[in-house]
Chain A
Amino acid sequence: MNTPELLAMRRAIRTWRERWSDKIAKDLEASIPELRCVLIAEVDALKLFDALRTKRFAAETLQPLFADWCQKKEEELFTAAESDLQNQFKHTLAYSSRKGSIDIDLKKDVLLNLAGAALSGVATVATIPAIAIFSTATAGGILGLLGLGATVLVTKNIVIGLVALIALVALTQKHFAKGMSKTKARLREQIEQQIQERIVYSKKQPSLTMLLIERIEETAKKMLGELDNAA
């Protein structure tokens, strides 16, 4: 492959990389309301049992939904990226001589196979840390739900057993509703923060956007390397 062809192919790969880095970031950000809706719907339907064990609720209910959503987005974006790469190459080097075309077509196949393998490898979503819901939402257990402060817990006279507490729940319907509402509000707040961190960006751990863009960049780097080796 001569220098002008090499430059044309390099440009095609770079254009693809830039377009998809940008597209992934924008698409995921635009899709956040959809994910938020899914997770918040679960929070809205939160039951007393789950409200007492929010960590478990997050792990058993929210996390699978979150992981499924991420995986679906990853597959959707990478399938589209791969197909776009094919189109990008189709429009590259249309001027080539017959001999040149064969050479370039072979090279395109090698690069497309390489891209396909790189993009359909191990799911990125597997490396995203799970949603972590802090238990502070229900730090006071049932008493917390009832709107009673944690300090109440240390008062021996009040903590006289589960039966007494259930009776207390029944007696203080108003406090109970308020407590559930607070728990849900805290969960919503945490989910919002987690979505931003896990999907958009966080210094603490890699986000889905970062990981997917890195896969695109890595794939482009491999293709550019392959191209330069062939030059």
Chain B
Amino acid sequence: MLHDLAFSIPEKFAGGLLDGSIVRYGTLLKDAGSGQILAHLQETGLAHQLLSKVGLHSFTPWGAVATVADMASSGYANVQLHQLKGMVEAMQVLQYANIGVAAAGLGVSAVGFAVINRRLKGLKTDIERLTARMEHQFEALHDTHWREHFSRIQVYVDRADRAFQLAEPKSEWLMVEAKLNEESSYLAHTLQDHLDSHHFDVEWFKQLTSSLLLCDSVRMKCLVHADELKLARSTASAVGMSYTELFDSVSATRLADKMTRRSSDINQDEQALFRKHQQTAQLISNHLQEVTDAAISKPLLIEHLIDHKVSGSRYLEQIAAHDQNPVILLTT
């Protein structure tokens, strides 16, 4: 049963965000004067529909989004174009530089388990291709069992999806969450190892990070579906802390250095190459920080649901069905 839940659109806060009287921290909008939380950002099912339809890398923070003009020239239907334009504008209002972040964990994931599994399959293929390339350079990767882990993740997500057919799906969702917690931990450790190594492969890192985000997103979704909101809140806190530990250590300068050392581009001088890699590394660092902030602020959204005695499954139904705006705000 939903009690006292009010949604609004980002444009409502545009003036305040622009003049600085409202500040966004992670997925929170706060009154800069009183410090009061005004709203929690929440993605809707529409965000994913839009990003998938235009063929962008949805569900990742890396959405190197082509301009709306590019899409227009590619012949996308006007209605989609209009909605996508709206999404870009909404993200600009919220002062996000990259709309990919919208699909990487603003609130509770609004994507279905089956859709997430399709995305995981794509990631697995990409990682397989990249790892084959990297194995020549990184001997350590021979020892990783990421394929097995990926297969397990896909099985668990599939089970989460099929749990809807069960008479009592709650225990299944809780089991899936516990199993995915182990897989998430494996992915985080693999990422940490890669960050600690002397080499850095941008694409491989991106795909693995996307997998981690998806895995954690499914965990949260399982707990919310199971109406275990208190557990969801503590899980969200743990995920936020894990991202903090993992991504705070990412140094754009070191990444750029590693990328330059690894580069085989002999046409550019070292200094120019380093500067170019610095820009890429800075974008990666910024995106990771956005993801971390979104994760840190997520427990407050769950807390809001608990305080308002909101049923997790009803909340998910509502945001998944929302077809007007890709990002909405749960006002307090």
Minimal beta-carbon separation of B284 from chain A (angstroms)? 13
Q: How far is the CA of A58 from the CA of B37 in the complex (A)?
A: 61
**Nearest CB to that of B253 among chain A residues?**
A213
Minimal beta-carbon separation of B136 from chain A (angstroms)? 20
Q: How far is the CA of A214 from the CA of B297 in the complex (A)?
A: 28
Q: Does B28 contact A (CB under 8 A)?
A: yes
> Considering the complex, which residues of chain B in the window 229-276 have a beta carbon less than 8 Å from any beta carbon of chain A?
241, 244-245, 248-249, 251-254, 257, 260-261, 270-271, 274-275
Minimal beta-carbon separation of A107 from chain B (angstroms)? 16
Q: How far is the CA of A8 from the CA of B35 in the complex (A)?
A: 11
Minimal beta-carbon separation of A80 from chain B (angstroms)? 19
**Nearest CB to that of A6 among chain B residues?**
B296
- Number of chain A interface residues as a range: 20 to 34
Question: Which residue in A203, A214, A228 is a CB contact (below 8 Å) of B244?
Answer: A228
Q: How far is the CA of A146 from the CA of B238 in the complex (A)?
A: 74
Q: How far is the CA of A21 from the CA of B255 in the complex (A)?
A: 13
Asked whether, in the complex, the Cβ of B28 is within 8 Å of the Cβ of A7, the reply is yes
Asked whether, in the complex, the Cβ of A196 is within 8 Å of the Cβ of B34, the reply is no
Among A81-89, A91-99, A112-120, the stretch that binds chain B is: A91-99
Interface size (B, Cβ < 8 Å)?
35
Asked whether, in the complex, the Cβ of A210 is within 8 Å of the Cβ of B297, the reply is no
Minimal beta-carbon separation of A30 from chain B (angstroms)? 14
Minimal beta-carbon separation of B37 from chain A (angstroms)? 7
Q: B300: which A residues are within 8 A, CB to CB? A: 3-4
Q: How far is the CA of A3 from the CA of B30 in the complex (A)?
A: 12
Q: Does A56 contact B (CB under 8 A)?
A: no
Minimal beta-carbon separation of B202 from chain A (angstroms)? 18
Q: How far is the CA of A196 from the CA of B275 in the complex (A)?
A: 13
Instruction: Say whether chain A's binding surface is mostly helix, strand, loop, or mixed.
Output: helix
Question: Which residue in B32, B33, B257, B293 is a CB contact (below 8 Å) of A210?
Answer: B257
Q: Does A57 contact B (CB under 8 A)?
A: no
Q: Does A42 contact B (CB under 8 A)?
A: no
Knowing A203-B270, A221-B249, A225-B248 touch, does A95 contact B37 (C-beta < 8 A)?
no
Question: Which residue in B25, B34, B260, B289 is a CB contact (below 8 Å) of A201?
Answer: B260
Q: Does A188 contact B (CB under 8 A)?
A: no
Q: B25: which A residues are within 8 A, CB to CB? A: 4, 7-8, 11
Q: Does A202 contact B (CB under 8 A)?
A: yes
Knowing A3-B300, A4-B25 touch, does A196 contact B271 (C-beta < 8 A)?
yes
Q: How far is the CA of A228 from the CA of B289 in the complex (A)?
A: 14
Minimal beta-carbon separation of B84 from chain A (angstroms)? 28
Q: B244: which A residues are within 8 A, CB to CB? A: 224, 228
Minimal beta-carbon separation of A3 from chain B (angstroms)? 6
Q: Which residues of A contact B (CB under 8 A)?
A: 3-4, 6-8, 10-11, 14, 18, 21, 25, 93-97, 100, 196-197, 200-203, 210, 213-214, 217, 221, 224-225, 228
Q: Which residues of B contact A (CB under 8 A)?
A: 23, 25-26, 28, 30-35, 37, 241, 244-245, 248-249, 251-254, 257, 260-261, 270-271, 274-275, 278, 282, 289, 293, 296-297, 299-300
Q: Which 6 A-B pairs have the closest CB atoms?
A: A7-B25, A95-B35, A201-B274, A217-B251, A213-B253, A224-B248
